[in-house]
Amino acid sequence: MQRICFVCLGNICRSPIAEGVFEHLAELAGCGAEFQVESAGVGGWHVGEAPDSRARKTAAAHGIRLDGAAQQLRARDLDRFDLLLALDTDVASDLRQMAAHGQRGKIRLLREFDPLARGDLDVPDPYYGSMQDFENVYQMIERACRGLLDSLSTGDTDGRG
């Protein structure tokens, strides 16, 4: 069992999409039982809230239902996970600051696994954006989650973005 946490700023837009997409892809690949998947935010503004309605609508258009309530990641939570996937570089640096030295190796950027990232490793924050921004974010997350699942299945987590 691999314990994975997707982490963004508010845990209402990007990381809930990543959690839903990864779980969906793992189920389709027949390996859903191998993963325990959560999402969280480094900020606490939205704790307890459902995912943003635009994130839910975008995921629903791709056949994925998002549920769950926003949670804030604390330093003490880092031990619970084998792998933490930051949705952008600011979040990754917050996580690295929060982590003890020996925990830093399990913090990665999700877009390292996006074959079309071309060195841009941020999934941009869509919170103040349009529905098209949410769709673009969804597409990046889906590509990256496919890459991540392939990497975890083959044991090769070097990344390709």
Radius of gyration of the chain measured on its C-alpha atoms: 14
User: Considering Cα of 125, then 131, then 112, then 74, what sign does the dihedral take?
Assistant: positive
> Is 125 noted as a catalytic residue in this protein?
yes
Nearest CA-CA partner of 98 in 74, 82, 121: 74
> Is 8 noted as a catalytic residue in this protein?
yes
Distance CA 58, CA 64 (A): 9
Catalytic member of 13, 14, 52, 143: 14
Contact residue for ligand 4NP among 5, 9, 59, 78 (CB under 6 A): 9
Minimum CB–partner distance for residue 5 and ligand 4NP (Å): 14
Strand 35-41: give its sheet, edge to edge: 35-41, 2-8, 83-86, 107-109
Catalytic member of 52, 88, 94, 125: 125
Contact between 110 and 6 (Cβ < 8 Å): yes
Contact residue for ligand 4NP among 6, 11, 81, 142 (CB under 6 A): 11
Contact residue for ligand 4NP among 127, 133, 135, 151 (CB under 6 A): 127
* Residue 24 binds ligand 4NP (CB under 6 A): no
Using CB under 6 A as the binding rule, the residues of this chain from 38 to 67 that contact ligand 4NP are 41, 45-46
Residues in the site for ligand 4NP, rule: CB under 6 A?
A: 8-14, 41, 45-46, 125, 127
